[in-house]
Homo-oligomer: A and B are copies of this chain.
Amino acid sequence: MSTETARKATNIVWHQGNVTRDDREKILGHKGCTLWFTGLSGSGKSTVAVAVEKALWERGVSSFILDGDNIRHGLNSNLGFSPADRTENIRRIGEVAKLFTEAGSVNLTAFISPYRDDRDKVRAIMQPGDFIEVLIDCPIEECEKRDVKGLYKKARAGEIPEFTGISAPYEAPNKPELTLRTAEKSVDECVVACLEYLESKGYIPAA
């Protein structure tokens, strides 16, 4: 048995005086959870996450965004884009989201996360209610029309292999806690929907 594993098995007594998740949430004034945004490239995941973060901040709610910027260049910088690496990418993000959630943060993740199985595994490692799956639902025609970064054009030209929605599957959630149709709703309307959900379920106090 390893040192760390052995410690885990035997130090339960030490931890009885621990600060609990409940305690942490008490000083923050809200509950921890993860809003897991999933959807096609260009559907608006990051845009909505950034706007939700701002709205939460204005209410004094402690939140944090995990996205390509801070994950792909840090924790997951040693992963590529093979199917196995994509799965490991989401697994690690899920584990980090779990830690933030247990710390009491309203954690926001903005990754395409195209595979249902990968997302379901994240849900399974969390406490019931901690994982809030938010489908950013936007027709691929609309995502492709926006194509702000020219990625769809490149994908159609075969320059990007395994591009979600073009040459790789996107598996939408069967029962997402929330669905935000970004082709029909404004960013502000999406933010309101997220905050209303968090309020109605008691994650954050009413404004």
Residues of A within 8 A of B (CB): 1-8, 10-11, 14-15, 17-19, 23-24, 27-28, 41, 46-47, 50-51, 53-54, 57, 60-64, 66, 68-70, 72-75, 78, 81, 88, 92, 95-96, 98-100, 102-105, 111-112, 125, 148-149, 151, 160, 163-164
Cα–Cα, bound, A105→B28 (Å): 11
Q: Which residue of B lies closest to A13 (CB)?
A: B148
Q: Report copies per complex.
A: 2
State whether A6 touches B149 (Cβ < 8 A). Answer: yes
B96–A5 CB distance below 8 A: no
A7, A50, A63, A148 — which one has the most chain B CB atoms within 10 A of its CB?
A7
Q: Which residues of B contact A7 (CB under 8 A)?
A: 41, 46, 68, 149, 151
